[in-house]
Structure 1
Amino acid sequence: MKSDSDPQYQAELKNLQRELVLLQQHVANNNKRLLIIFEGRDAAGKGGAIRHFTRHLNPRAMRVIALPKPTEKEMGQWFFQRYFLGLPNPGEIIFFDRSWYNRAVVEPVMGFCTPDQYEEFMMQVNDIERMLINDGIQIIKFWFSINRGAQKDRFEARKSDILKQWKLSTVDALAQEKWDEFTYYKEQMFERTHTMKSPWVIVNGNNKPRARLESIRYVLSQSEYDRKGETQVRLEPLPGSVTHFDQAYLEAKRASDKL
């Protein structure tokens, strides 16, 4: 699987998108609520993955939430308040293109929050997600992971392609320079907010086409819906392409113990 034009990739993608339509119909017909969070380093492929998830879905029963920087009024509110407006209604699928987890990684690295605000968030978020899940919202938390070289190459592509230049931001400009700081806060986030009910799902994003397919497979594999598997496409993600944080941590520890 080398590119978006690969015939095998296109055939699998279409069948997976058909399965997503079946999932959406089930959510809508049964008043289910599904929230899918997309997090990751800049240029990890979050936005592109969301576009592939949503391309053939009914826009009346789904929304993509990509909030801008908070207004002065919002900065005076409880941190979670503006995100709660984007929670799914009955029968709706919501895609968060970045989420409240901005406060766990981007904000402390960039100095957009105080240490006290960061710690308060980290103390609250697990309880909040537990309450949302207990109220009936299914939450899937993706972290799209890429290596440093892939990020650098994608930044260069953005600079040279007028169709991608709108993606460039001040955070992008410092992402490579602050790579280790982002890594530290990312790992803190995993360790403190990965729970049995709301696990972090790490997607290997170095290959964009594969990351899109495997993340869609993961959502489908975790969901029950009428006519599931009708297209006969594989619904279970490849091992190593999509991994829960605790599994990834144990595998990395085993590898380091062998050195």
Structure 2
Amino acid sequence: MSDGQNPENIIYNEQTIRLDELLQEHDRLVSDNTNLKKRQKKAIRRFNREEQLKPYQAELIKMQQYLESNGTRFVILFEGRDAAGKGGTIRRVTRYMNEKHYRIVALGKPTEVQKTQWFFQKYVTQCPRGGEVVLFDRSWYNRAIVEPIFGFCTPDEYENFMIGVTGFEKDLVRQGTILVKLYFSVSKEEQARRFERRKTDTLRQWKLSEIDVQAQDRWDDFTNQKYEMLKRTNTTHSPWTIIRSIDKHQARLNAMKVILNAVPYERLDPTLDFVPNHDVVISGSRELELMEAQRLQSGKFVG
């Protein structure tokens, strides 16, 4: 003890330091407990949502069996903006399906040889055999939206595609292929939030591409191309179905309903609700009407 120090002051200071440490430890434990409860609630909510999907995933297995027994071909296109929820929906749709009778196709940049071929040739080679489901994670509609925006095709190539795609799809359907075209629609704010999560989440960083980085800046370009695509390729033989995907769970659930309703198989559980939520599932024709109304009201498309 140094000269002039009061023993009572030393004891008081030590008690004060100890009390501060105890209070800090208490605050840490309270914070940890709060975070634990939040994680538990989130895990329970995620579990319950996955459980809600299981009856429909069982129906997808029954649907597959129908396709196999009848030799029917089934093509599902998953289109939409980056981070709109396409990949997560595909994973839920295929989670329990027979792997021998479905394929997920996500084609990359065309090769030099493919660039010289008929545009649809690389997609035709990926089309299903009898009894098979093929899910295109982005499809030939890259040429309708992404390619013209980023200059990956010429104006003539774009126009040739827009003229030819309806006939191509009509032939697919006429020859017995079931074709479902899903467009996942997300808001600009929600897309930005998901991009930000990809930047900070090490498990999701691989999803962030150079095109993703530009998606927010080119939002209006994507919207204009979406409108042109719907206007020119939403046909009676191959209509578009829009899936509102701000709520990922509802998007996944309702996409499953749309897929199941496209196939005339015998229901595994007829008591299930197979009616899509009209706030989540919008017909291509209705989406066009909504977009045109937005343009009349505000002078431009909103989303």
Q: TM-score range by the shorter chain?
A: over 0.9
Residue correspondence of structure 1 range 221-236 to structure 2 within 5 A: 221-226=261-266, 228-230=267-269, 232-236=271-275
Q: In 2 relative to 1, CA 254–109 (structure 1 residues): closer, same or farther, beyond 3 Å?
A: closer
- The structure carrying a bigger helix percent of its residues is 2
Residue correspondence of structure 1 range 165-184 to structure 2 within 5 A: 165-184=205-224
Which letter does structure 1 place at the counterpart of 2:183?
W
Shifted more, 2-11 versus 125-134: the winner is: 2-11
Residue correspondence of structure 1 range 1-259 to structure 2 within 5 A: 5-6=44-45, 8-226=48-266, 228-230=267-269, 232-251=271-290
Give the conservation status (yes or no) of the 8 Å contact 1:18–1:231.
no
Secondary structure, counterpart of 1:63 in structure 2: strand
Identity percentage of aligned residues: 42
Instruction: Calculate the TM-score normalised by the size of structure 2.
Output: 0.81
Which letter does structure 2 place at the counterpart of 1:109?
I
| Larger relative contact order (CA 8 Å, sep ≥ 6) | 1
Shifted more, 59-68 versus 245-254: the winner is: 245-254
Shifted more, 162-171 versus 231-240: the winner is: 231-240
Q: 1:5 Cα shift?
A: 4.4
Which letter does structure 2 place at the counterpart of 1:15?
P
Q: Where does the alignment leave 5 or more consecutive residues of structure 2 unmatched?
A: 1-40, 299-303
CA root-mean-square deviation = 1.9
Give the conservation status (yes or no) of the 8 Å contact 1:46–1:144.
yes
Give the conservation status (yes or no) of the 8 Å contact 2:245–2:251.
yes
Shifted more, 231-240 versus 129-138: the winner is: 231-240
Give the conservation status (yes or no) of the 8 Å contact 2:231–2:288.
no
Q: 1:222 Cα shift?
A: 2.2
The higher radius of gyration belongs to 2
Separation (CA, whole Å) in 1 of partners of 2:276 and 2:42: 19
Separation (CA, whole Å) in 2 of partners of 1:230 and 1:236: 14
Which letter does structure 2 place at the counterpart of 1:214?
N
Q: What per-residue deviation string (whole Å, max 9, x for no partner) do you get for residues 197-241 of structure 1?
A: 100100001110110000001111222113x15163211111121
Give the conservation status (yes or no) of the 8 Å contact 2:227–2:288.
no
Separation (CA, whole Å) in 2 of partners of 1:186 and 1:144: 11
Q: In 2 relative to 1, CA 133–171 (structure 1 residues): closer, same or farther, beyond 3 Å?
A: same
Q: What per-residue deviation string (whole Å, max 9, x for no partner) do you get for residues 104-133 of structure 1?
A: 000000110000100000010000000010
Shifted more, 242-251 versus 34-43: the winner is: 242-251
Separation (CA, whole Å) in 2 of partners of 1:86 and 1:142: 18
Q: What per-residue deviation string (whole Å, max 9, x for no partner) do you get for residues 164-211 of structure 1?
A: 111111110110010111111110000000001100100001110110
Separation (CA, whole Å) in 2 of partners of 1:242 and 1:67: 27
